[in-house]
Amino acid sequence: MNENEIRKYATIMQETGVTYLEITSEKEKLKLKRDCTLSPKAIKEEHVKTIEDSSIQNIKSPLVGIFYASSAEDKAPYVSNGSLVKKGETLCVIEAMKLMNEIPCEQDCTILEVCVKNGQLVEFGTTLFRIKI
């Protein structure tokens, strides 16, 4: 593997927010790891993007991790399609590096669609919910 290929993988990691990448072939093995510590301020950055209808928005993942719809397997999901949610209520949990990060609702809304499945890996910017304000 040459330097350009390694740089290409490093660039992809930077652009997508991936913090660990391992590539193995018959003759070579490459491990790339980058430190990506998110401060609470970085997690709080706006992750609601307006689409055509200004009252319909997407809530996007503020970090890379595993999406959980509830606090435990035997518990009901925090929200589902049609749920009325108040500002500050928990929408979901994203597990990142063994830390459970509750994702709060930033405004009163109605959940139109839960866009990911429980246990699904989500990347930074993945649409988690479609909401109507």
Look at residue 71 and tell me whether its pLDDT is greater than 60: yes
pLDDT at position 93 is 92
pLDDT higher than 90, residue 11: no
Rounded Cα distance, 12 and 73, in Å: 34
Section 12-33 average pLDDT: 78
> 59-62: long-range contacts at Cβ-Cβ below 8 A with a sequence spacing of 24 or more?
59/91, 59/103, 59/105, 59/127, 59/128, 59/129, 59/130, 59/131, 60/125, 60/126, 60/127, 60/128, 61/94, 61/103, 61/122, 61/123, 61/124, 61/125, 61/126, 61/127, 61/128, 62/94, 62/103, 62/124
The answer to whether 58 and 46 have CB atoms below 8 angstroms apart is no
Regarding predicted confidence, which is higher, 93 or 48? Answer: 93
Mean pLDDT of the region 117-128: 90
- Return the CATH number of the domain spanning residue range 40-132: 2.40.50.100
pLDDT over 70 (residue 95): yes
In the chain, CATH 2.40.50.100 sits at: 40-132
Residue 55 has pLDDT above 50, yes or no: yes
Look at residue 92 and tell me whether its pLDDT is greater than 90. Answer: yes
Express as a percent the part of the chain with pLDDT over 70: 84
DSSP 67-114: EESSSSTTSPPS--TT-EE-TT-EEEEEEETTEEEEEE-SS-EEEEEE
Q: pTM for this one?
A: 0.58
